[in-house]
Amino acid sequence: MPNSTLLTTPPRHWGKLAARWLGSWWRMLHLGAVALVLAASTSGWHRAERLAVSRRIHAGTWQVLPWFTLLTALVSLVIIRIVLVTAQSYGLSRYALEMVVRVLVLELIPLSAALFAALRAGLAFDAAAIGLDRIGVDPAAVTGAALQRLRRDLVPQLVADAFSVLSLAMASSVTVLVLAYLNVYGLSPWGLSDYTRTVGRVFDPVVTVGFVLKTVLFGLAVAVIPSAAILELLRRPRRTGSSVQPGALRLLFVLLLIEAGSLAVKYI
């Protein structure tokens, strides 16, 4: 519920405003559940849907995966060197590798992949193409063809966005693990035993399940929230001067909430 709306609304209308806000969240959860059911239903996957999914996965994942992984590797390399040098200066070299894995692989990379996928695909929609540029007009002015196109492309877009987050996070995590080994042990194969022992100690069964679950939740959030915001805008057009994409603030809030919940479960 935006604070500006709450402050400018008379107290007698606060209940109605809260009900509308809760209804918006409920419709978002409902959309996510329906999309998951449709995605899991093999009877609804025809050749056209499969082609749509493959095109969107190619555009949202394959085209950006190499240079996103390269950019992540460069930034991670700087962070790894900083951590190693700092740990050596304090005599804590044996903890440096574990710290790199916990901070980069478990926390920063999944969140970075989710934010990147949101900017690249989840929030990058053509408002004019589906009639959303006419915000504030009567709902009947939004053409039936635009709504039909939105329904046709919704599930493929959700699947592609979720897949993008998972792929970017996993590919970048593997790259960072390789860079961490090279920075700590160099090209020598003799550090492999100690390295696998340290990484295995970090990725115990509970942490591994939590890491996968958090990444999946990131992917679902990136896939569902922007689409739900677009549908909400079609359902209840309103005049606004904001240049923020629909669902951007809510998506950021949910991503930070998932990350905070993951940290709380692991370290508190």
Distance of CA 112 to CAs 165, 174, 188, 192, 222, Å? 9, 15, 31, 28, 12
Distance of CA 62 to CAs 112, 153, 167, 168, 169, Å? 17, 19, 9, 9, 13
Q: pLDDT means per 10 residues in the chain (268 residues)?
A: 53 69 78 73 69 80 88 93 90 87 91 86 49 46 51 73 88 92 88 90 89 90 80 60 63 90 85
What's the pLDDT score for residue 154? 72
What's the pLDDT score for residue 204? 87
What's the pLDDT score for residue 26? 82
Greatest C-alpha distance within the chain: 71
Residue 46, SS3? Answer: coil
First to last CA, the chain: 29
What's the pLDDT score for residue 257? 93
What's the pLDDT score for residue 174? 93
Q: Does the global pTM surpass 0.75?
A: yes
What's the pLDDT score for residue 72? 93
